[in-house]
Amino acid sequence: MPHKFTLEYAKYLDEKDPLKSFREKFYIPFVGDKQAVYFLGNSLGLQPKTAQDEVLNVMENWANFGVEGFFMGDEPWLDYHKEITPLIANIVGAKPAEVVTMNHLTVNLHLMMISFYNPSATRYKIICEAKAFPSDQYAFASQVKMHGLNIEDCIIEVHPKAGTELITTADILAAIEVHKNSVALVCFGAVNYYTGQVFDVEKITIAANNVGAYAGFDLAHAAGNINLQLHNWNVDFACWCNYKYLNSGPGAIAGAFIHEKHLQNKNLKRLEGWWGNDISNRFKMEKTFTPASSAEAWQMSTAPIMLLAAHKASLNIFADAGFDNLIVKNKLLSEYLFYILKEINTGNKFEILTPINPNERGCLVSLFVYKNAKVIFDEFIKNGIFADWREPNVIRVAAIPLYNTFENIYFFGTILQKLLTNN
């Protein structure tokens, strides 16, 4: 059936959606007396209704057992991560031993670069995307400076071609080839935060490894959003936050991936701490560090159990829904959103920056609005729509398969059409 820009059709799509009941597992914000259209899961995912109970259970165990909560109660904290690890491993396409839930994204990126960015006299460059998220740019620059090197010499940015915001895979591979004798690390966001473009992680990894460089990825806008196969793609390392598409709360604990080929490499540098010591002798309090045989060897400090509890609440919902099913719905929502955007863009009042190819995008869609963009954006919240603003005139929206509906997309389209007409 061809798409239609009608309320009846949107409701029809919702009715036949096998995942429609999962929306009820989240708290949806209200604007006035009506549920909002929350298209901001790319920035902060909504709260699972079970999150409070999971956190409260930790608090109760703390109250009842004190420090013995690490060993007593229905979910002892010492083993708390054992349920979480396979759930997140499934989402990012990893083996459980390759993932660890710890710290925050930029902290983890620095920790990974200590291991995987060790410049030499001949290999010292980092290849990354132009307009990477600023925190990544800060991390690259500070790591380069810590090695006493010059930022302009070391950091190679791959830019979009003139007249576009998108970076082609061919240009990335060409940059790797040009700098093949001097590149130490290739590090991209798997999904560009500004445009929503999905990069070809596998091809980038192969190209980097073929010239003797490591390949790492920031998955902030990828984890929980797109299909990832980090292990099969042979990615060296990756980092992600869990508060966006993974709905684990503001400032949520983050995650990291280290491919199993590196886990037993004794020559790989890393910062070490007590919680990364092998559990078999951790409590012997010995002076010599014995690394865990998994990615947990990079985990320096005691796990923050209350943050893990909120994270677990969301991951259990992902497991119940089935991540493959969410990817299918993701593509259907995106397809309908693109259809409506094309329907209402009479007079060419905005440009869709996000790739047209469904395989090169996830939930996020970025609109470059030519006239009165900020005025239009400011009107969204008055009409019950949560969206995202990026200078100079870009509006970003993300339809999340766990809690957004086709009717949400229809309503957004009607409001945007009205605002474009009136402005």
CB proximity list for 386: less than 8 A, separation 6 or greater: 29, 36, 37, 38, 39, 40, 380
The CATH fold assigned to 7-47+323-422 is: Aspartate Aminotransferase, domain 1 (3.90.1150)
For residue 241, CA distances in Å to 12, 42, 99 come to 34, 11, 13
DSSP letters, 312-373, are HHHHHHHHHH-HHHHHHHHHHHHHHHHHHHHHH-TT--EEE-S-SSGGGB-SEEEEEESSSH
| Cβ–Cβ < 8 Å for 165, 195 | yes
pLDDT computed for residue 373 by the predictor: 95
Residue range(s) of every CATH 3.90.1150.10 domain in the chain = 7-47+323-422
pTM of structure: 0.95
CB proximity list for 135: less than 8 A, separation 6 or greater: 105, 106, 109
Q: Report the candidate in 238, 242, 282, 279 with the shortest Cα–Cα distance to residue 93.
A: 238
Instruction: Report cis status (omega within 30 of 0) of the bond before 392.
Output: yes
pLDDT computed for residue 314 by the predictor: 98
What type of residue sits at position 354? T
Q: For the chain, how far is it from start to end, CA to CA, in angstroms? A: 34
| Cβ–Cβ < 8 Å for 365, 354 | yes
In tens digits, the chain (423 residues) has pLDDT values of 789 999 999 999 999 999 999 999 999 999 999 999 999 999 999 999 999 999 999 999 999 999 999 999 999 999 999 999 999 999 999 999 999 999 999 999 999 999 999 999 999 999 999 989 999 999 999 999 999 999 999 999 999 999 899 999 999 999 999 999 999 999 999 999 999 999 999 999 999 999 999 999 999 999 999 999 999 999 999 999 999 999 999 999 999 999 999 999 988 999 999 999 998 888 888 889 999 999 999 999 999 999 999 999 999 999 999 999 999 999 999 999 999 999 999 989 999 999 999 999 999 999 999 999 999 999 999 999 999 999 999 999 999 999 999 999 999 999 999 999 998
Rounded Cα gap, residues 76 and 62, in angstroms: 10
Question: Packing angle between helix 323-344 and helix 406-422, nearest 10 degrees?
Answer: 20
User: The tokens of 408 are what?
Assistant: 């949400």
Three-state DSSP class for residue 150 = coil
User: The tokens of 142 are what?
Assistant: 């500070």
pLDDT computed for residue 107 by the predictor: 97
Q: Select 55-319's CATH number: 3.40.630.30, 3.40.30.10, 3.40.640.10, 3.40.50.300.
A: 3.40.640.10
Residue range(s) of every CATH 3.40.640.10 domain in the chain = 55-319
